[in-house]
Amino acid sequence: MEKVTEKQLEKWVDHIRIYANNGKVADYIPALKRQNPEINAASFFHLDGECVQAGEADYFFTIQSVSKVLALAVALMNHGEDAVFSRVGKEPTSDPFYSISKLEVEKPSKPINPMINAGALAVTNMMSGKTTDDMLHEILDFVHLLTGDETIDYDKEVAQSEYNSAFLNRSLCYFMKQNGIITGSVEELHDVYTKQCAIQMNVKQLAKVAGIFANEGKDIETGEQLIPHHYARICNTFMGTCGMYNQSGSFAINVGIPAKSGVSGVIMGVVNDVGGVAVFGPALDKQGNSVIGVKLLEIMSRYYQWSIF
């Protein structure tokens, strides 16, 4: 397969800049509302270790819902498949990521999958740490392991902004606590979850993480199995079926790779046995996905024939 080159990536990133005019930044999180919609960046991490990038590749953003994939991997490694899926389902949904409706009608009353907010909160509740700091650092330590960069931390301003404003997520937590899906303090869980979503990375670091999922969970440089192959496959499957919110179906048709988006404007994509891709552009479409991110991945998938379908 033809390799992604920096020259070609720069050409495409420059071409798709204008599409930012078709979206707007997330305005329901005060700290994200101030993002510049004209910033964009992309990186591709090849499985031979070469990393190419374009745009403002050193710009740091919060990974938001991309963290759901990482927390799921940690929970699976800590507790195993049976325990995790006793508290969260495996099915995709056409409902918005913040929806509470399925919790009201499903029996047992557990979130339908770990990529929606309710499911992600239930997964974060499974972190093994005894304190909120321990739970957060369990996820951060995993990020440090995958990236090889122990300086990665969370954005305190964004975390606090989300903590202060996410009343709907609190309602999801209380509903699940009433039904025995989560345990412990809702406020402590919410503290961990908002900090988890506020982890800061750039596209080069995130593309490397995606590359590990593309490499069956193995470190690209050493070959060490950082994520058991089966658990990496589970995470990739959820990204493929549920990763792009209620745009996952059309994304599967138009792009056809496992991917996870976040409302900061980030998308992480997995091209199995080829490499990992990360795109950032804060202007979002109506589904909450990066406008330029989706467009760039459509172009790249078509050109390189990435689709798994």
Residues recognised as catalytic: 65, 68, 193, 245, 263
CATH number at residue 177: 1.10.1500.10
Report the pLDDT value the prediction gives residue 246, as an integer from 0 to 100. 87
Residue that finishes a domain, picked among 130, 164, 196: 196
Mean pLDDT, rounded, of the chain: 95
Q: Does residue 1 belong to any structural domain of this protein?
A: no
Q: Does residue 17 belong to any structural domain of this protein?
A: yes
Report the pLDDT value the prediction gives residue 234, as an integer from 0 to 100. 98
In angstroms, the CA 40 to CA 57 distance is 8
Same domain? For 177 and 72 the reply is yes
Is 19 annotated as contributing to ligand binding? no
Report the pLDDT value the prediction gives residue 205, as an integer from 0 to 100. 98
Is 162 annotated as contributing to ligand binding? yes
CATH number at residue 227: 3.40.710.10
Q: What is the pLDDT of residues 267-308, one digit of tens each?
A: 999 999 999 999 999 999 999 999 999 999 999 999 999 999
Same domain? For 187 and 90 the reply is yes
Report the pLDDT value the prediction gives residue 252, as an integer from 0 to 100. 97
Taking 50 as the pLDDT cut, the residues of the chain under it are none
Is 169 annotated as contributing to ligand binding? yes
Same domain? For 185 and 243 the reply is no
Contacts of 206 (CB under 8 A, 6+ apart): 43, 63, 66, 266, 268, 276, 278
Helix segments in the chain, DSSP class H: 6-16, 30-33, 67-79, 81-84, 101-105, 117-124, 132-147, 156-165, 167-178, 186-197, 203-214, 229-242, 248-254, 291-304
Is 69 annotated as contributing to ligand binding? no
53: which strand partners?
Answer: 43
Same domain? For 163 and 183 the reply is yes
Q: Does residue 309 belong to any structural domain of this protein?
A: no
In angstroms, the CA 37 to CA 57 distance is 15
Report the pLDDT value the prediction gives residue 74, as an integer from 0 to 100. 98
Domain containing residue 53? 6-63+199-304
Q: Are strands 41-46 and 266-271 parallel, antiparallel or unpaired?
A: unpaired
**Total domains present in the chain:** 2
Report the pLDDT value the prediction gives residue 29, as an integer from 0 to 100. 86
Report the pLDDT value the prediction gives residue 30, as an integer from 0 to 100. 87
Report the pLDDT value the prediction gives residue 122, as an integer from 0 to 100. 97
